[in-house]
Amino acid sequence: MPVDPPAAPAATWNDRSADPLEWARSRGNGTLADKMGFEWLEFTAEHCIARMPVEGNTQPVGLFHGGAYVVLGESLGSMHANWHAGPGRLAVGVDINATHTRSATEGYVTGVCTPIHLGRSVMVHEIVLSDDAGRRCSTVRITNMVRDLPSR
């Protein structure tokens, strides 16, 4: 299956010479995450953290939308996998699942992403999503396949 390379030139997409948080911010969030108010808070080799506002991302009954948890989780896990993939490589999601255990109704939902497995061809991350009171609302697990970027 062909994969379109990210907006950044292939030679610099995964260049890890920059500060990881600045690297993540400079790549952009993607239009969906931007529309949802995605905001990077922290990015290191060990984990990354971002948040989204509840307002504007709710179901009709006022609860944070289950799909919004998944958007936040996938954005975190995919970017962390891409940073670890290294120059000339691209991580693409092949599986994602979420278990929702609480509903956020105001403030922000914050995601903390930690790697479970950082292999050469497969990476797995767990993302814990919590409300402003620190209560876990959802747990997302994403698996990314890592491949070489296509030559131009």
Q: Which residues have a catalytic role annotated?
A: 74
Distances (CA, A) of 37 to 23, 50, 52: 19, 10, 5
Pairing of strands 122-130, 136-148: antiparallel
Distances (CA, A) of 64 to 91, 132, 139, 145: 28, 13, 14, 29
The C-alpha angle with vertex 69 and arms to 3 and 9, in degrees rounded to 5, equals 30
